[in-house]
Structure 1
C-alpha cells in the first residue's frame, strides 16, 4: 500500500494598504453608475462555435464488487452488476470497461462459480432495448458492434450474430433470425434474414429470406422483404385468403385495406370475390374515447349467385346486415345516458352468408335493435325523459316492428302529506302520485318494404298520459294493504269509421279519419298480503340428523280490481244497402247487437272497454330452505341450502261475468342444485272447467263432468346445467371472442348453437389459453380440465284433448383439454320428439406455441362444412398461414 501526503503552507499575515486609493468612489457616484444603462458588448456573440468537451453528458456509473480507474491507460473498470448511464444510453452488465482515450464502452457478462455465463449486457437507448452477449459502443460516434443480440421489434424479436449500430435509428445485421416465439434460445420457427437493415419502430428491410422450422429450412421465402414496424396504429393492406367453394368456384376472402384514422377510431374495408360472379364487402370500425364512450360499427353486403345463368337452378340474391354498438361511460355525465345496440338487415342474411364468422348465428330467428337517450333532472320531484328507437324482426315470417321513436317522460313520486322529517306512517302520509307520458310512432312492415315509402303509410302515432295515485299501510299489525287508482288519457291522430254491408252481412272499415282525438279511462285496485314463516325442526335430544331444519316462507295475497264500462265511446255502424246507400240503423237485423264499435279500434294504445269488469285475484308464493349438517367438521354452524327458490300459484274470479268466472290456475316454480350449477324451472296451467264433445270449454266444472278437479292443459320444464373440473372453472367462455360475436349478432351467450369459425380474423388472434403452467409432458395431461353445458326443455299441450308433447329437446356443448396442447370442443343436441340430431359442430385446436392449428367440422345437415386453419398467432405475421374449407350450400 502506498500513500502520499503534502504539507499545507501556513497563511501569512495580510498587508494592508498605507495610501488611500484615488479610484474609490463615494456612494452617490456608485448609485449613479448602478442606474446607468448597460451597453451590449459587440464582441459577445462569436460566429465560431466553441469546441465540445471530451464528454457531452455526465457519466453515472456503479458496481457492486469494485470500481477502479487506470490513470495510465485512461480506463475505468466496473465489475458485478455494473451499470453506466450516459445521456439517453444505459448499459447494465456483469463487467463494463470504459476507455476514455478512445471514447469506447465495452460490456460483457461474467462467469459465476459453476461456470455459467451470467449478467449478460442489457443495452438501452431511448425506447430500444438490446440484449447481446457483449457490446462495444463508441460514445462519440454513437456506433456500436453488438454480438449475439436479441432485440424486440413491435411484437417480434430479431436474433443476430453480429449487429452494427450505425446511429440512433439504423442497425445492420448479419444472419439474423426474426421470430415471434417466446423461447428465444430455441425458437420453433424463424425467418432467416441473411442481410438486413433495421430502423427501430419503422421498418426492417432484408435481402434473401426464408422460413425455418426448428432450424430446418423450408422453400417458403422471398428474394427480398419489407417488414413494417410501428409502435403506433398504421394503415395497410389486408392480404386475402383463397380457396374453392362448391358451386361458386375459386375465391378470395377477407382482403382489403385497414385505415388507422386516429388514436380514437379505425376502419377496415374488406371484400370477397368468387369466380362465378358472387361478391361481398364489409366495413368494420371500432372507436373509443377514454372516460367518454366506446363502440363499434359494421356493415356487410353480399351479392350471391348460384349455378350459371340460363340453368333452371340459377339464383341471384342480395343480402345485407348492419350492426352498431355504442356505450357511454357513466362517469362522464351521470345524469344522461346514450346507448345503441343495432342488428338489422335482410332476414336471410345469416342463413345465406358465405362468411365463416356467422356460423354460430344462422339459427337466430329474431333481429332486434335499440337506440336510446335518457336524461334525469335532479330535484324534488325528479324529472326523467328518454327517447328510444326500437326494431324487432322475425327472420322466419320477415315481419318487422319498429318504433321511430318512443318518447317517455315521468315526474317522480310526490308525497303531499308526508312529514318533513321522520318516516311516513299511515294511510294519509303514504298517499303519493306521479305523472307519466309515453308517445310512440309505431310502424309494422315486411322485409321487402323496409325503408321504402310504403312502410310509413300505415304508421300509428299516439300519446298516453297516466297519473297513478296510491297508498299503503299496515292493517292489524301483520297485514299490508295497498290501494291505487289510475287515470289514463290516450291521444291519437287516426280513427276509423265502420259500416255494415247488408248484402254480405259483414262489418267493414270504410274510412280512416285523420285528426286529433282522445279517450279517457280510469280504474281502481287494492291488494292485501302478509308473510307467514314456518320452521320444521328435526333436531332431537341425543340425535344429530343430517337435515336439521326446513324453513317454509309463504306470501299469500288477495287483490280486487274494478274497471268501469266506457260505452260512451261506442256507436253503431252505418248500414249500407245493396245499392251502396246509407239506410241508417236496422233494428231487425240479427247481428244488430254486434254493430257496436269504437272509433279507437286498432289504436296504438288499445281502445276503451265497453264491458264492466270486477274481479278478485288470489296468489300464493312459497320458498323452501333447509339447514343441513356441514361436512366440514370444523364448521360451527349448519349450512343453509335452497330447496325451492319459488313455488307460485295464481288464479282470479270475475265477479261481473255470467259464466266461466274462474280463470285457470297457473303454477310456476324453480330451484338450483349442486351449488347453483343445475337450474330447473317448471310451470303448468290447470283449468277447472270441462270440455264438450267438440273440445270447447263449457260452463261446468270438470269434477262435475266426471273428471278430476283440474284439467292439465299445458306444462313445461326447462333445465340447464354447467359442470366443470376444478381447472375448467377458470375458463370463462362468455369472454371468448367467438361468444362475443354471437352476442353482437343477437345470439346466445353460450356455444350450444356452435361458435364462429373466423380464425383468420384479428378479433380471434388472442391467445385464449394464456395458458396454464406447462406440464413436464406435452403429450399427456394427468389433470384434464373439462367443462360441460347441458340444456333440456320439454313442453306438454292438452288444451283440446290433444295430449301431446309439443316439443322435447336436449342440447349440450363441452370442451376438454386432452393435453396442455390439445383441446376438443363440441356443440350438439337431440330432438327427442322428431328423433334426430340438431345442429352439430365439432372443434379441434392444437397449440403449436407461436402457431396454432384449428379444425371445425359440421358433419351433417344442410350446413355441412369443414374448415382447417394453421397460422401464426402474432398479428404482425398473421398472414403467414394456410387454410382450407368446404363451405355449406346456399340456403335461400
Structure 2
C-alpha cells in the first residue's frame, strides 16, 4: 500500500508543476526527483491527467479549502509528443497540439505552457520537406475565432498578443500585424486590414487602418483609414471611421447617391433612414432631390409573421419640373405609386383567406419615374389592383363566400374601372336523387343543382377623379342569382349525353327610360332618363350535348422500324342550345307627346345599360358541331442503346367547330373555326388558327345570305388567320442529359411580373437602383461554384428567347397582314461572373425596330457592376452601377444614369 501511495504523490507533484507542498502547519521542502533514463532509450513522455491539474488538500478536516490554481480543467493532446520540463515548470505539446481551457480552444503545431507565469505560447511548425510554415495557431473563444502566425496567451488574465492574425466577424475579415486582446470584448490592433472579400489573404480591396479598436459583433472604430483596391492606395480616406458589425437588424442612415441628370441637374437620390422596428416589420424612408427643384420620396416596409402572413408595401411620390418658371416650356407634374403585396400562409386559417395585390398609381409613373429601371414595366398599358377575402363554411353542402375590391387603370386612355366591391357566393352541387351510399347511376341519380350569387358595384372614371367624390356618380350596381341544373348518362355504352338548364334572376337598382324628342335642329333624338328604384328580370336557357371518343391505331410488325405505333384520337360532339325570347321586357319607343312611333318598329328595354345588360329579345336555337383530334406515336429512342420506345406527339390538338341557327331567317351557318397546336421542336409549339366564312360579300363588302360558292367563289372565304410560337433555347438543350425538369417551371411570382412585366423575362429582370442588383437574382448553384474553381471553362452557357406573331385579315376583302413581328432576347455567360445580354425585335408591318436593350453584368467578387442601355426610341436611357455587394458596406457605391426624356 505504501509504494502505491508514493507513486500517486510523485505523479501529482510532476504533473501539476508544484515546487512546494504545504501541510496544515509547516511547509516541507521537497527535493526534485530526477527522471530515470535508460541508456539508448527515448525519454518517456509525461501524460497530463485531469486530476493533476487540481490542487490536492492535505487534510479533509480543514474548513477553509484553498483555491485551485486553475479555474477550469485543462485538457491537452498532441500527435507528436507531450514533454514536461520540471525545472522550467513548462509543458510542450508538439504536432497537432490542442488545449482546451473553459470556453477557450487553442490549436497549433507547437504549444508551450509556462505554469510559473501562466503564459501559453503557440506557434506553427516548419515542414522538413517543403520548408513551409504549417499548422498555424487557431484560437477560438466562444464564437470568436482568430488565426494568427503566433500567439501569446495568459490563462489567468485571459489577455493575448497575436501576430499576423486573421479573424472573421459577420461579413468582415480582419487581418492585423499585431493584435492585443484586453478582455473578451475588446481588441486593439495595429496596421490592420479589414475587408468583406472572401479571400482575406489576397483581397480585391481592403481598408487599411493604423490603429483599430475592435469590439466583436458590435463595431470597429479606427483612426486614419485608407481604401486600397488591388493593393493600390486610393485617395478615399477618412481621419476616423466607424463600422457597425452585427448580425441583427439595426436602424441607421442610408447614404444617398450623387449624380447628374441632363433634365433635372445634379441630384442626391436614394438617401434616407432605415428603421428596424422589431422582428416582424421594418421601415425604410428614402428621398431624392434635384437642383432644378424636382424631388421624390419613397416609403417601403416589409413584414412577416411565420405561419401567419407576409407582405410588403411601398408608396412613392414624385414631383418633376421641366425648365424654369416663367419660360414657355415650363411644366410641373406630380405622380405617385402604391404597391402592396400580401399573402396568407395556407396553414394560418384553412377556411378563410385574405390576399392583396395592389399596383395603383399615376398613368405615367413607370415611364417617367426617377428610379424606375424595370424596362418591361415601361411598356405596360394597364395597372391592376385587387384585394380579396374568402370564407368557406365546411359541411354538406359546402358554402363559399368571396368579396373582392379591384381597380384596373388604362394608362393610355386615362380611364379607370372599379368594382367596389364584388361579392360572390356559392353552394356546392347537390344530388337530390342520389342513393344513400352516394353512388350515382343513370339520368335521375345524376341530376344535380347548385346556387350561385354575384353582386357588383361597378364604376368607370378617369385617373384624375380617382379619389374625388364623383367616383360613384355614374356607378352601376346589381345582383345576379343563378341556379344551374344538369345531369349526364350513357347511351349505347359509347355515347355520353349531358343536359342542363340554367335559371337566372337579376336585380338592378337603376333602369333607363327612353323617349324620342326633337332637338334644337328639329331632328328626332333619343333622350335617356335614369329611373332610380329596385327592378328585376328573369331568364332561362337549355342545353344538351352528345359526344364520344374514337380511337384509331397502327402497330408495326417490324421491331427495327423507327415508328413502332401510331394512335389517332377523335372526339366528335354535337351540342344544342336554346335561348328563348324575353320580349316581355321590351316596349315600343314613344315620342315626347306619348304617340307611338309607327314608321318603324323601334323597341327598347328599360334594362339596357344596367350592370348585367338587357335580356335577349331574339329567339335562338343552335346546333353546334365540333371535332377534336390528337395524333401521337411511339418511336425508337435514338439516345437509348437498349432500343427503348418514347412517346412523341405529332399533333397535340386540331379542333374544328361551327354551328347552325335553326331559328334564324338568314346567315344561319356560322363561320368554320380551325385551331391547332403542332410541336415543332422539343417544348416549342406552333399555334395556328383560321376562320372560314361560307357566305359571300356584296359590293359594299357586307355579308349576304348567299353561299360564296354560289357567287362564283370558293367553298369558303378565309376571313382571318394567325400563327405564333414562343420558345426558349439554351446551351443545356444540346447537352445530353443536362436538361432538368425544373427548367420548365415558369417564374410567376416575381418583382417583374408584379410590376407588369413578362414571366419569361423577354425584356430582362428589373434592377434595384439602390444596390444595382437584379431583384430576382437566384443563388449560385453548385455547378457555378465548380466552374469558378476550374482553370479553364470549356462550356459557355447561353440562352435565347424567341417570340413570333403573324396575323392575317380578309373579312372585308382587305387582304392585309395586320401583324408580323418577332422579338428576341438572350444572354451569354462568358464566365461564371460575366454575362452579356439584350433584347430587340422588328415589326415587319410597321417597318421599325421594337423595344431594344443591351445589358451587362459583371460580378467582381466583392464588387458588383452592371450596365443597362436602351439605345433607341422614346425610352432612350442608360444606367451604370458599381458597388460593394456586402450589406454592411452597401453605401460604398457609384452609379450614374441618364433617364428618358420626361413626357409631360
Would the alpha carbon gap of residues 398 and 481 (structure 1) be closer, same or farther in structure 2, given more than 3 Å must change? same
Residue 690 of structure 2 aligns with which residue? 684
Select 2:671's aligned residue among 658, 664, 672.
664
Partner of residue 84, structure 1:
99
Q: Which residue in 1 is equivalent to 2:174? A: 158
Residues 449-472 of structure 1: CA deviation (Å, up to 9, x unaligned):
112111111111111111111111
The 5 A counterparts of 1:817-828 are 817-828=829-840
8 Å contact from structure 1 (residues 733, 750) kept in 2: no
Q: Quick one: structure 1 residues 734 and 152, their matched pair in 2 at CA, closer, same or farther if it must change by over 3 Å?
A: farther
Task: Tell me how far apart the structure 2 counterparts of residues 561 and 874 of structure 1 sit (CA, whole Å).
Answer: 66
Within the alignment, does 1:761 sit opposite 2:771 as a pair? yes
Identify the range of structure 1 (848-857 vs 181-190) with the bigger mean alpha-carbon deviation.
848-857
How far residue 302 of structure 1 moved from its aligned partner, in angstroms, is 1.1
1:641 paired residue number:
648
Report if aligned partners of 1:177, 1:193 keep a CA contact under 8 Å in 2: yes
Who is 1:830 aligned against?
842
Cα shift at 1:658: 0.8
Partner residue of 1:611? 618
CA distance in 1, matches of 2:66, 2:316: 65
Within the candidate set 770, 779, 786, 1:773 is matched to: 786
Deviations 1:353-380 (A, max 9, x none): 1224233311111111121111222211
- Indicate if the aligned counterparts of 1:757 and 1:856 stay in contact, CA closer than 8 A: no
Matched, 1:794 2:792: no
Query: Does 2:315 correspond to 1:299?
Result: yes
Specify which of 238, 254, 257 is matched with residue 241 of structure 1: 257
Q: Which SS does the other structure have where 2:373 is aligned?
A: helix
Asked if the contact 2:517–2:527 (Cα under 8 Å) also holds between the matched residues in 1, the reply is no
Q: Cα distance 1:478–1:729, how it changes in 2: closer, same or farther (>3 A)?
A: closer
Q: Whole-Å Cα distance in 1 between the matches of residues 745 and 655 of structure 2?
A: 35
1:4, distance to aligned residue in structure 2 (A): 6.2
TM-score by length of 2: 0.88
Aligned match of 1:653: 660
Quote the residue 1:358 is aligned against. 374
Contact 1:738–1:755 (CA<8 Å) still a contact in 2? no
Does the C-alpha gap of structure 1 residues 451 and 764 become closer, same or farther in structure 2, counting only changes over 3 Å? same
What is residue 898 of structure 2 aligned with on the other side? Answer: 886
Partner residue of 2:193? Answer: 177
CA deviations on 1:422-478 (whole Å, 9 max, x unpaired) are 632111111111111111111111111112111111111111111111111111100
Change (3 A) 1:315 1:7: closer
Q: How does 1:326-475 map to 2 (within 5 A)?
A: 326-421=342-437, 423-475=439-491
Residue pair 2:339, 2:359 contacting (<8 A) in 1 also: yes
Q: Secondary structure at the match of 1:448?
A: helix
Aligned to 1:782: 794
SS in 2 for 1:397: coil
Pairing 1:590–2:608 present: no
Change beyond 3 A, Cα 1:421–1:157: same
1:852 aligns with 2:870: no
Check conservation: 2:787, 2:793, Cα contact below 8 A.
no
Q: 1:94 to 1:7 in 2, by over 3 A?
A: closer
Change (3 A) 1:269 1:672: farther
The equivalent position to 1:724 in structure 2, one of 722, 726, 730, is 730
Q: Supply the distance in 2 between the matched residues of 1:171 and 1:729 (Cα, whole angstroms).
A: 52
Distance 2:671 2:745 in 1: 43
Among 546, 552, 557, the alignment partner of 1:534 is 552
SS at match of 1:357: coil
Return the alpha-carbon distance in structure 2 between the equivalents of residues 735 and 863 of structure 1.
31
In 2, Cα distance between equivalents of 1:736 and 1:182: 33
Closer/same/farther in 2, CA of residues 775 and 375 from structure 1, 3 Å limit: closer
Partner of 1:818: helix, strand, or coil? strand
Structure 1 stretches lacking a partner, 5+ long: 9-48, 577-582
Q: CA RMSD in A?
A: 2.7
Aligned-residue offset at 1:527: 0.7
Q: Equivalent residue for 2:124?
A: 109
Counterpart in the other structure of 1:709? 715
Q: 1:366 to 1:58 in 2, by over 3 A?
A: same
* Counterpart-to-counterpart distance in 2, 1:461 and 1:83: 81
Q: Deviations 1:522-543 (Å, cap 9, x if unpaired)? A: 1111111111111134x254x7
CA distance in 2, matches of 1:731, 1:467: 43
Residue 525 of structure 1 contacts residue 562 of structure 1 at CA under 8 Å; is this kept in 2? Answer: yes
SS at 1:800's partner residue? coil
User: 1:750 aligned to 2:765?
Assistant: no
Q: Is the 8 A contact 1:734 1:749 kept in 2?
A: no
The corresponding residue for 2:34 is none
- Equivalent pairs, count: 838
Seen in structure 2, the aligned counterparts of structure 1 residues 422 and 604 have a Cα distance that, compared at 3 Å, is closer
C-alpha distance after superposition, 1:823-846 (max 9, x if no partner): 210111111112211111111223
Q: Answer whether contact 1:739 1:751 (CA < 8 A) is retained.
A: no
Kindly state the Cα deviation for residue 135 of structure 1 after the two structures are TM-superposed. Answer: 2.4
Alignment counterpart, residue 514 of structure 1, candidates 504, 509, 532: 532
Shift of 1:821: 4.1
Alignment match, 1:33: none
- The answer to whether the Cα contact below 8 Å between 1:440 and 1:461 also exists between their aligned partners in 2 is yes
Q: Aligned to 1:833, what secondary structure does the other structure show?
A: coil
**Which of 882, 886, 902 is matched with 1:874 structurally?**
886
Structure 1 residue matching 2:799: 3-state secondary structure: strand
Deviation at 1:101, TM superposition (A): 3.4
Q: Structure 1 residues 679, 120: closer, same or farther in 2, change over 3 A?
A: farther
SS in 2 for 1:362: helix
Is the contact made by 2:772 and 2:864 (CA closer than 8 Å) also made in structure 1? no
Return the alpha-carbon distance in structure 1 between the equivalents of residues 140 and 679 of structure 2. 58
Secondary structure of the corresponding residue to residue 379 of structure 2: coil
For 1:160-309, list aligned pairs within 5 A: 160-309=176-325
Q: Which among 465, 481, 488 is matched to residue 504 of structure 2?
A: 488
Q: What's the counterpart of residue 340 of structure 2?
A: 324
Checking the alignment, whether the CA contact within 8 Å between 1:737 and 1:764 is kept in structure 2 is no
User: Aligned pair in 2 of structure 1 residues 620, 697: CA closer, same or farther (>3 Å)?
Assistant: same
For the residues of structure 2 that align with 1:332 and 1:74, how far apart are their CA atoms? 66
Partner of 2:632: 625
Judge conservation of contact 1:857–1:867 (CA < 8 Å) in 2: yes
Q: Name the CA distance, whole Å, in 1 between partners of 2:349 and 2:93.
A: 57
Cα deviation digits, residues 286-314 of structure 1 (max 9, x gap): 11111211111111111111122222222
Would the aligned equivalents of 2:490 and 2:497 in 1 still touch at CA under 8 Å? yes
| Contact 2:771 2:883 (C-alpha < 8 Å) held by counterparts | no
> Aligned partners of 1:675, 1:793: CA distance in 2, in Å?
19
* Bigger mean CA deviation after superposition, 263-272 or 348-357: 348-357
> 2:580 matched to 1:573?
no
Deviations for 1:563-591, whole angstroms, at most 9, x for unmatched residues? 12222222233421xxxxxx22325x313
